């Protein structure tokens, strides 16, 4: 292994992240009781321009009035983009009025690390001003050609800054930015021989894993196609993503199913670790299990599975 290693800024279970429009307060209580790992209250794309100010008030009230942490939910807010007149007041009002109860802010359409630095600097000053004991994390949406072209630098500088926790693949805006032809949000174009999102998700995931961040897959637009959702989630999981968005509560169980290691997989991982421990005691660096060679790389993969299962189990207690 290299001597240069980037540890995670924060460890969280994020199998599914439920998007909830800030302009729809009737959905807040349902989200609270949904059993999802993460919720982001949305001030950006899901809110019409005329509703932006009221949505911000709704979100601040919901953060303060509802017991998100007590219901096992990590709470995020998607702020408006840096190119809008809403972003500054989003950050200031959220932190001044509800900062102690916010886990992360989700920045949309991050194109360069400077976008992240601006929000990071604002959070640092506001946390000092308010005397907050918690450090609000940052998550970044990679959903433009510019963002993907700079994803390695965004991940690296974000990790060094100590506040960035995760990158999310925003497939809809990414498709628009690249002028890609799509059938539905997150779905596959039958004219493309395979998965046209594979390269983008893989590139983002590699950047995340190199610098200690969580890679999260974005939305799947057809809520009436659960098999399509699960297929997309499985492809993302195969590339290393830790979770996926839900735009409807019906998608939560689908994501949890895909991103929770199956019991048989966890059991096999534990057997691999035991077999390698026994081999090491005999001075061997490799072993055989079920007729297959296992070695140090097998141990690292097995540890990933066991740790994920333990984190999910701990959250469920």
Per-residue model confidence as pLDDT tens digits over 255-300: 999 999 877 777 777 887 787 777 777 777 777 777 787 777 777 7
Binding residues: 78, 143, 173
For the segment 32-65, what is each residue's pLDDT rounded down to a tens digit? Answer: 999 999 999 999 999 999 999 999 999 999 999 9
Q: Which residues are CB-neighbours of 313 under 8 A, at least 6 positions away?
A: none
Best CA proximity match to 43, nearest among 19, 67, 69: 19
Mean pLDDT along residues 91-109: 98
Is the Cβ–Cβ distance between 58 and 22 less than 8 Å? Answer: yes
Q: Residue 232: is its pLDDT beyond 90?
A: yes
Q: Give 191's Cβ-side CA count (13 Å radius).
A: 4
Q: Where in the chain is the domain with CATH 3.20.20.60?
A: 16-260
**What pLDDT is recorded for position 210?**
96
Best CA proximity match to 266, nearest among 311, 229, 230: 311
Report residue 317's pLDDT band, with 50, 70 and 90 as the boundaries: low
For the segment 152-205, what is each residue's pLDDT rounded down to a tens digit? Answer: 999 999 999 999 999 999 999 999 999 998 868 998 888 999 999 999 999 999
CA-based angle 165:65:38, to the nearest 5?
30
**What pLDDT is recorded for position 123?**
98
Question: Which CATH number applies to 16-260?
Answer: 3.20.20.60
For the segment 65-92, what is each residue's pLDDT rounded down to a tens digit? Answer: 999 999 999 999 999 999 999 999 999 9
Binding residues for substrate: 78, 143
The full 3-state SS of the chain, as one line of letters, equals CCCCCCCCCCCCCCCEEEEEECCCHHHHHHHHCCCCCEEEEECCCCCCHHHHHHHHHHHHHHHHHCCCHHHCCEEEEECCCCCCCCHHHHHHHHHHHHHHHCCEEEECCCCCHHHHHHHHHHHHHHHHHHCCCCCCEEEEEECCHHHHHCHHHHHHHHHHHCCEEEEEECHHHHHHHCCCCCCCCCCCCCCCCCCCCHHHHHHHHHHHHHCCCEEEECCCCCCCCHHHHHHHHHHHHHHCCCEEEECCHHHHHHHHHHHCCCHHHHHHHHHHHHHHHHHHHCCCCCEEECCEEECHHHHHHHHHHHHHHHHHHHHHC
Q: What does the mean pLDDT of the chain come to?
A: 92
Binding residues for Mg(2+): 143, 173
Query: Hey, what are 197's tokens?
Result: 């999102």
Mean pLDDT along residues 206-224: 96
């Amino acid at each position: 292994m290299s001597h240069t290693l980037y540890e995670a800024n924060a460890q969280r279970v994020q199998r599914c992240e439920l998007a909830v429009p800030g302009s729809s307060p009737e959905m807040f209580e349902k989200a609270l009781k949904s059993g999802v790992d993460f919720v982001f209250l949305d001030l950006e794309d899901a809110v019409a321009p005329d509703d932006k100010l009221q949505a911000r008030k709704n979100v601040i009230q919901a953060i303060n009035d509802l017991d998100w942490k007590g219901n096992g939910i990590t709470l995020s807010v998607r702020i408006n983009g840096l190119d809008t007149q809403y972003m500054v007041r989003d950050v200031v009002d959220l932190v001044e009025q509800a900062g102690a109860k916010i886990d992360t802010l989700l920045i949309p359409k991050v194109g360069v690390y400077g976008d992240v630095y601006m929000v990071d600097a604002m959070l640092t000053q506001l946390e000092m001003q308010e005397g907050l004991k918690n450090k609000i994390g940052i998550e970044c949406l990679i959903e433009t050609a510019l963002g993907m072209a700079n994803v390695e630098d965004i991940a690296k500088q974000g990790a060094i800054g100590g506040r960035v926790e995760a990158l999310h693949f925003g497939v809809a805006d990414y498709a628009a930015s690249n002028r890609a032809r799509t059938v539905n949000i997150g779905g596959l174009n039958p004219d493309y021989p395979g998965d046209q999102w594979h390269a983008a998700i893989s590139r983002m995931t590699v950047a995340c894993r190199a610098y200690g961040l969580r890679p999260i897959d974005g939305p799947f637009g057809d809520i009436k196609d659960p098999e399509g959702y699960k297929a997309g989630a499985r492809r993302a999981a195969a590339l290393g993503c830790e979770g996926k968005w839900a735009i409807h509560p019906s998608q939560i169980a689908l994501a949890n199913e895909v991103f929770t290691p199956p019991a048989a997989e966890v059991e096999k991982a534990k057997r691999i670790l035991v077999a390698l421990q026994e081999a090491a005691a005999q001075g061997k660096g490799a072993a055989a299990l079920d007729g297959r060679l296992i070695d140090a790389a097998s141990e690292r993969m097995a540890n990933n599975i066991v740790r994920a299962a333990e984190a999910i189990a701990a959250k469920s207690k």
